[in-house]
A and B are shown apart, each in its own frame.
Chain A
């Protein structure tokens, strides 16, 4: 049973076709890594999943329903840059996600509700290793810590889909390794379906349970924009993790929940 279904999606801007005839079916809990040359539509596809753009043709179904045409709380996102709010402290950056949906008038909680939201945010921040920096502003954090914060901020919403647009592209290799470990750990604990755009092939292979390669199959040298990219390779990866996830999913819910927390 597919969780996300992409039916014959095309995306074009004016006469520039970016994506053509995209068909894809993704089960819940898969970790898809998206690779391909620059400008081949990986990020465009991510923006379609996010709802930041609408497909010119075709449709994307989430759990059988057409995807909402604008970003909402069901899909979390981490960009390469500008993912966190510079005017809020680390703690408030995460607590914001709890405050906004619960207070439609002021976007802010008070009293015990506020305290509870901050506790919940602090708990999650401890888990991603930012427990010591709760009162700092993002500008005082290193690049890796900012991305940790961005991930925590997205996860506090308990989204069903996490979209990552080259989240570790600007980090140096050592930090990147730590981030991979963190991301896999969080993915194991939650039922998240992840889509991650990356330029780093080894990252794509080591993290994903499924690697999607975007490329143009047809190319007209006289009209470079005439044809768009498709998914040319769809490679299942890391079968151990894939089967572990499937086994956990097959268990009765209460048992599976206990396993995941463990």
Chain B
């Protein structure tokens, strides 16, 4: 039988899903154990016990200096920045995308502008953001907003253009004005697409967040990783990376469930 026609059944699919993760973990802990037997003070590949100790210290013990539980405080700060950034981007992207995709008079000037703006590397203008908005929360949120809004807007503009013209005509014959047409026909059809776009942009949003926190911050997941790098504290960095990955994955999964739950009519929601 050709390879292309062979499908895994349920148990073997589960096995195939777990296998690569298991292999990576196995390789890591083998390497870790080997290095630690050679040199018990090795910091490069900490053991599970060392990492668990670090997590216990950061998550369940109050910091001696500030009295905070660092992991949770870092998580809260980062998630707040991310949520504000994503929220503003989603709103701005939706408005720009709908305007550019539905109204030809708005699309003519907006569309090329968005194309050019989405090509500006956001990290290259990070210094400008720090100069303009200062080193506070605003510049970090702005980096996320500037980084992902043009891409969101372009995607939604494209989707708005893909709405069959027949539907727009039909809505007009049902008595819709431009405004109610956008409100009741275009917007609801773009909302599921917005959630999917957000899922795709989550990776970039985290990238911009960590980058901004690494350079100028006093808390946050990115800040902590770059802080302890000085002490080669892999036992902190690795759990933090796993934690960030888990958070990102949960957000992705949550958005997927939300799309499916809120827009049962949208076939893309099943994917």
Contacts and interface: CB of A to CB of B under 8 A. Distances in A.
Given A100-B176, A157-B174, A107 B169 contact: no
Interface string A131-170: 0000001110000000000100110010100000000000
A72 B178 CA distance: 12
A23 interface: no
Contact of B174 (A70, A86, A100, A108): A100
A71 B185 CA distance: 16
Given A72-B175, A73-B174, A104 B166 contact: no
B265 A139 contact: yes
Given A87-B265, A137-B264, A139-B265, A79 B166 contact: yes
B173 A104 contact: no
Contact of B173 (A76, A82, A86, A87): A76
Interface residues of A, number: 37
A77 B175 contact: no
B3 to A, nearest CB: 34
Nearest to A150: B170
Contact of B169 (A71, A81, A150): A71
A55 interface: no
B189 interface: yes
Interface residues of B, number: 25
Of A86, A100, A138, most B-chain CB atoms within 10 Å: A100
Closest 6 CB pairs of A and B: A107-B180, A101-B175, A82-B164, A82-B166, A71-B172, A97-B174
Interface in B15-62: none
Contacts of A99: 184
Interface in B170-225: 170-177, 179-181, 183-185, 188-189
Contact of B185 (A73, A85, A106, A138): A85
6 contacts: A52-B169, A79-B166, A79-B170, A86-B265, A104-B179, A138-B265
Contacts of B177: 100, 104
A196 B175 CA distance: 22
Contacts of B263: 87
A72 to B, nearest CB: 7
Given A100-B176, A104-B177, A106-B183, A153 B170 contact: yes
Contacts of A52: 169
A100 B175 contact: yes
Nearest to A138: B265
Of B172, B173, B180, B183, most A-chain CB atoms within 10 Å: B173
Contacts of A56: none
Interface in A66-115: 70-73, 75-77, 79, 81-88, 96-97, 99-101, 103-108
